[in-house]
Structure 1
Amino acid sequence: MLDIREFTDELLTHPMVGSGPIPSAQDPDGVYPYESYAETSRRPVIRTYRFVVMENDHIKATICPDLGGKVYSLIHKGSGKETLFAVPAVRPVRILPRQFFIGGGIEVSFPISHSPVQIVPVYYQTNKTGERLFVWCGEREVRFGMQWTVEYSLGQDDSFLTQRTCFHNPTSEPHPWMAWSNAGVPARPDTEFCFPNGPVLSHGEAMRTIDWAEEGPKKQGELGRMTGFFWREPDCQAFGVYTPSLGSGLFHAADRRLTPGIKLWSDGVGRDEEWVSQYALDKEQCLEIQAGPIVDQSIKNELVPGTSHVYVEFWFPTDKRLDIRTLEVPEVELPPLASVPLFGFARRRETELWEQVVEAWQRRQPELLPQPPAPEDNRWAISGCEELEGALSWAAEARPEQASSWSMQLGAWYAGKDRIDEALTELERSGEDRALALAGRLYRRNKGDCFRAAACYRRIRSQAVALHPQVTCERDAALAGIGPETITERQTWLAKTSALQDEWLIERRATLLADQGQFAEAERLLRQTVFQLVHQRYARTRLWRRIMAGLGKPEEEAPSSLGEDDLFEFGAYREYVED
């Protein structure tokens, strides 16, 4: 048989709480122009998602275009075994770039890792040509305006899923990128790591290079903590995992010349298992096997205008252990690259307004301009649309009564493009509350001028904006940067939201206590708060160390309740330096 079909199904979905009204430009905990998130709801709702199934006599692959185009399920039909970690829920957790990562499935990341569209819809197409099925998923991403398409295909007799990935830069500027195919698979203590020998970069509490044959863990039960491994010079081109107690496994093969990146990520057994449990429903564990065209996640390549990058990889679901030294890269005849669709912007609500602004500008017809986004509408001018520079400048002149709103959006657009001086000019010209809040961030983070940053926050007129936790925290950081003379002002502002149990506010209250020398009170506040877990963020850990030094206990280990991992700071996940 060779069959392709579409269906819808319901998944438990935990809603997200947005970080706030300040555009995510220059935010180390976000990536412009995407909205980032501060919390995951503890109680889910029910939402409907679209799925596409491809299957033959050997495997059944289910793709979900509404979850960023990921492979949701990959079943080995001979045994009926599910080889991916397929969670019947969307329960996002705090991992960059948008702080809404979900584990499991096969995720394709571009232009940063993890995918900024992991739990939102992308475009898709399906086709059957001769004896081969195709599903294409992709979009034009809004960060840089580059296009990506992942092609999943299945032949009549294939016992593997073929994945071809294409990136294209249609813009006039070169842009940085990284890409990883990340497969989340079930993890048990007996899950075997079937990986090549050779030098491997081990990323745990420290960075070190190990010899995999001599020092590498052979199974999940041998890892007592979260650790990532990157292969430097593998002695073969295949890798994977197999779990005897489940009778299932997943293996990967690709041409090393085009796909040299090999990574294994595991949270191990014991102390770090809760980092997986937070995106599961039943505390079952997951680990990740990854591949990509770059050797590790501290590196980004550059895609110049008008060029594309393409690579092919293969996933082998299995009910037995495979020999990675005899697992060959299949020879599959794929259609010409020209037949792979390249998509446009995928989510109309995010982009339609900006396309209307560009159209009005190109026609020079102010009556075609839409209303600018309201203060509660976190749609910010997409940096991936080059035409918006001229269009927003024109809109501010063509509609003087809306000038402040369009200047605010142009300032955010400039900030998203790292054009800070131009951004500050437009934001100051706007004078809108959100513009002032973003200007405050830019003055503090990019100019090192906390005095001008504080002045921007003091000009905010709306009480709702002024008291929002995001604005309150950024204001407090600016005031703290001025020095002890702002203690009273900081106390006044933080007192206005003292009843809120917001994690960011609690962090700032503890910082204020430490700045006042009240280290015991600061320690007590942090200890009594159980923070949601967040990967690769260390602000609370640094604050804890400062408090312990103030108490004369510099060796006191940071409690797990702070919600931060203890990984060595490594990787190009964060675009801007953390506070």
Structure 2
Amino acid sequence: MLEIRAYTEVLLTHPMVAAGPVPSAQDPDGVYPYESYAETSRRPVLKSYRFVTLENDRLKATICPDLGGKVYSLIHAASGKETLYAIPAVRPVRILPRQFFIGGGIEVSFPISHTPVQIVPVLYRTMETEDRIFVWCGERETRFGMHWTVEYSLGRNDDFLTQRTRFYNPTSEAHPWMSWSNAGVPARADTEFLFPNGPVLAHGDRMETLDWTKDGPRSQHDIDRMTGYFWREPDCQAFGVFTPSLGSGLYHAADRRSMPGIKLWSDGVGKHEAWVSQYSLDGEQCLEIQAGPIMDQSIKQELAPGGSHHHVEFWMPTDRRLDIYQLAVPEVELPDVEQIPLFGFARVEETGIWEQVAEAWRANKPELLPSPPGIDDNRWAISGYEELEAALRFAAASRPDQESAWRMQLGAWYAGKDRIDEALAELAASREDRAWALAARLYRRNKGDNARAAECYRSIRSQAFALHPQVSYERDLTLSGIGPQTLAEREYWLARTNALQDEWLAERRAAWLADSGRFAEAKRLLAGTAFQLIHQRYARTKLWRRIMEGLGEPEREAPAFLGEDDLFEFGAYREYGED
């Protein structure tokens, strides 16, 4: 049997709350031009998703194009055992780049880790030959305008899933990238780690290098906190996990010359289990085994104009423990890599407007211009579309009645490409409220000019916009950077939203109390706020330590209720430094 099938299925899905109306350019908690999110709804809704299955007599792989093209399920046919953590609900949590990560399945990331399209649709195609079936998922990503496609294929007699990934840069500039294939598998106390020997970089609350043979954990039970392990000099090309209590496991193999990266991530048994439970329904635990073409996640490579990259890897579901030193990299015959399709922009509702603007510019027909996105529409000019610089100038010049909105978009586009002075010039010419707020961020973060940033906030005209939590949060950061002379102005703005149960505003109210010397009140406020968990962010931890120092009660470990992890800061996850 060799079968490919497409269908739809309903999953419980927790809606996301957008961070706000200010473009995500230069935002440490997001990545331009994607919309980022501030919290997850506690109550789910029902939502339909597209799925594609590849199946033979030995395994069944299910891919979900509507969840970024991830492998949703991988079943060992003979035993009927699921070898991945197949998420029962789409319940996103705060992990960069967009703060809407979901665990489980096999995620392919590009051009940053994790993928910015984790829970949104990408394009896909399928193909059948006499002896092999294929599904391709991908898009032209909007950050840099590069193409990525992941190919999953299954041969008639294969007991493994073949994954091939292709990247291509059609733009005129070189762009940084990283990529990891991240498999989320069920985690039990007896889940065994079957990884190569050799030196390993361990990333927990500190960085250290250990000898895996002597000091590495052997099972999930041996890890008592969230920790990532990166292999430096593995002595074989396969790795995996096996859980005796479940009778299932998953292994990975690839040519180390093209896939040198090996990683194990576990939240362990104990205090950090809640970091996994937050994206499950019943508290079930999940750990991650990862592979990549780069050694670790502190490193990025560059893809030159016209440059391409591809690599091949294999996933092996099983119902028994395997010897990684006996696992050979499979040899399969695949079509030429040039036959892997390169897709265009995937979500017309996000990108269609920018293609219309470019089409109007190319045709020199102002009448073809669409209306610009309004203040309640978080679509921002995509930085991966090079033609938009000229097209947005054309739009602004052709429609005087819409010039302000188009120049705001051009300013955001420049900021998204790190062209800060040009961005500030366009934002100043726009004078729209979104332009003022983005300009303020650029003055504060890129120019170190809090006074100029504060003047931008004071120029905002809409009271609704001025009181939005995102604007309130960043304005308070700006004013606090000026010094104690702004305490009264900060109090005025924070008091106007003091009835809102917003965790970001609570953080800034606590900061204002601390800056006012009211440390006990600041402590009570932080302790009484229900913060959702967020990875790789430490603003509240630093604030808590300052408060405790002010109370004369220094603490070494920040409390868990702050919702921030205690990892040593490592990795190229953020595009820009934390506030």
TM-score by length of 2: 1.00
Alignment of 1:97-136 (within 5 A): 97-136=97-136
SS of residue in 2 equivalent to 1:74? strand
Query: Structure 1 residue 268 and structure 2 residue 268: aligned?
Result: yes
Task: Tell me what 1:160 maps to.
Answer: 160
Q: Report the Cα distance in structure 2 between the residues aligned to 1:88 and 1:538, rounded to whole angstroms.
A: 30
Q: Quick check: 1:23–1:33 contact (8 Å CA) kept in 2?
A: yes
Task: Tell me what 1:543 maps to.
Answer: 543
Q: Report the Cα distance in structure 2 between the residues aligned to 1:467 and 1:69, rounded to whole angstroms.
A: 38
Q: Deviations 1:463-497 (Å, cap 9, x if unpaired)?
A: 11000000001111111111111110000000000
Query: Structure 1 residue 346 and structure 2 residue 350: aligned?
Result: no
Query: Structure 1 residue 385 and structure 2 residue 385: aligned?
Result: yes
Task: Tell me what 2:406 maps to.
Answer: 406
| Letter matched to residue 237 of structure 1 | Q
Q: Give the percent of matched residue pairs that are identical in Structure 1 and Structure 2.
A: 76
Query: Structure 1 residue 367 and structure 2 residue 383: aligned?
Result: no
Q: Quick check: 1:3–1:55 contact (8 Å CA) kept in 2?
A: yes
Q: Report the Cα distance in structure 1 between the residues aligned to 2:191 and 2:555, rounded to whole angstroms.
A: 35
Query: Which segments of structure 1 move beyond 4 Å, counting only runs of 4 or more?
Result: none
- Count of residue pairs brought into register by the alignment: 579
Task: Tell me what 2:64 maps to.
Answer: 64
Alignment of 1:134-533 (within 5 A): 134-533=134-533
Report the Cα offset of residue 338 of structure 1.
1.7
Q: Report the Cα distance in structure 2 between the residues aligned to 1:89 and 1:166, rounded to whole angstroms.
A: 29
Q: Report the Cα distance in structure 2 between the residues aligned to 1:346 and 1:155, rounded to whole angstroms.
A: 28
For the aligned residue pairs, the C-alpha RMSD in angstroms reads 0.5
Q: Report the Cα distance in structure 2 between the residues aligned to 1:559 and 1:529, rounded to whole angstroms.
A: 12
Report the Cα offset of residue 534 of structure 1.
0.2
Q: Deviations 1:197-255 (Å, cap 9, x if unpaired)?
A: 00000000000100000000000001000000000000000000000000000000000
| Letter matched to residue 408 of structure 2 | M
SS of residue in 1 equivalent to 2:170? coil
Q: Report the Cα distance in structure 2 between the residues aligned to 1:94 and 1:230, rounded to whole angstroms.
A: 23
Q: Report the Cα distance in structure 1 between the residues aligned to 2:555 and 2:5, rounded to whole angstroms.
A: 59
Q: Report the Cα distance in structure 2 between the residues aligned to 1:551 and 1:82, rounded to whole angstroms.
A: 52
Q: Which runs of 5 or more residues in structure 1 are unaligned? A: none
Q: Deviations 1:133-166 (Å, cap 9, x if unpaired)?
A: 0000000000000000000000000000000000
| Letter matched to residue 411 of structure 2 | G
Q: Report the Cα distance in structure 2 between the residues aligned to 1:556 and 1:142, rounded to whole angstroms.
A: 42
SS of residue in 1 equivalent to 2:85? coil
Report the Cα offset of residue 557 of structure 1.
2.8
Q: Report the Cα distance in structure 1 between the residues aligned to 2:6 and 2:359, rounded to whole angstroms.
A: 35
Q: Report the Cα distance in structure 1 between the residues aligned to 2:86 and 2:442, rounded to whole angstroms.
A: 41
Q: Report the Cα distance in structure 1 between the residues aligned to 2:475 and 2:205, rounded to whole angstroms.
A: 32
| Letter matched to residue 2 of structure 2 | L
SS of residue in 1 equivalent to 2:6? strand
| Letter matched to residue 361 of structure 1 | W
SS of residue in 2 equivalent to 1:325? helix
Q: Deviations 1:40-65 (Å, cap 9, x if unpaired)?
A: 00000000000000100000000000
Q: Which runs of 5 or more residues in structure 2 are unaligned? A: none
Pick closer, same or farther for the CA change 1:556–1:258 going to 2, 3 Å.
closer
Q: Report the Cα distance in structure 2 between the residues aligned to 1:104 and 1:555, rounded to whole angstroms.
A: 35
| Letter matched to residue 370 of structure 1 | P
Q: Deviations 1:294-350 (Å, cap 9, x if unpaired)?
A: 000000000001111000000000000011001000000000112110000000011
| Letter matched to residue 408 of structure 1 | M
| Letter matched to residue 495 of structure 2 | A
Q: Deviations 1:84-119 (Å, cap 9, x if unpaired)?
A: 000121000000000000000000000000010010
Q: Report the Cα distance in structure 1 between the residues aligned to 2:87 and 2:27, rounded to whole angstroms.
A: 30
Q: Report the Cα distance in structure 1 between the residues aligned to 2:495 and 2:228, rounded to whole angstroms.
A: 42
Query: Structure 1 residue 24 and structure 2 residue 24: aligned?
Result: yes
| Letter matched to residue 463 of structure 1 | Q
Q: Deviations 1:483-538 (Å, cap 9, x if unpaired)?
A: 11111000000000000010100000000001011111111111111210000000
Q: Report the Cα distance in structure 1 between the residues aligned to 2:528 and 2:514, rounded to whole angstroms.
A: 16
Q: Report the Cα distance in structure 2 between the residues aligned to 1:515 and 1:88, rounded to whole angstroms.
A: 44
| Letter matched to residue 350 of structure 1 | E
Q: Report the Cα distance in structure 1 between the residues aligned to 2:443 and 2:338, rounded to whole angstroms.
A: 46
Q: Quick check: 1:548–1:556 contact (8 Å CA) kept in 2?
A: no
Q: Report the Cα distance in structure 2 between the residues aligned to 1:55 and 1:253, rounded to whole angstroms.
A: 20
Q: Report the Cα distance in structure 2 between the residues aligned to 1:483 and 1:272, rounded to whole angstroms.
A: 37
Q: Report the Cα distance in structure 2 between the residues aligned to 1:201 and 1:369, rounded to whole angstroms.
A: 53
Q: Report the Cα distance in structure 2 between the residues aligned to 1:67 and 1:274, rounded to whole angstroms.
A: 23
Q: Report the Cα distance in structure 2 between the residues aligned to 1:547 and 1:414, rounded to whole angstroms.
A: 38
| Letter matched to residue 242 of structure 1 | F
| Letter matched to residue 236 of structure 1 | C
Task: Tell me what 1:53 maps to.
Answer: 53
Report the Cα offset of residue 556 of structure 1.
5.1
Q: Report the Cα distance in structure 1 between the residues aligned to 2:515 and 2:19, rounded to whole angstroms.
A: 25
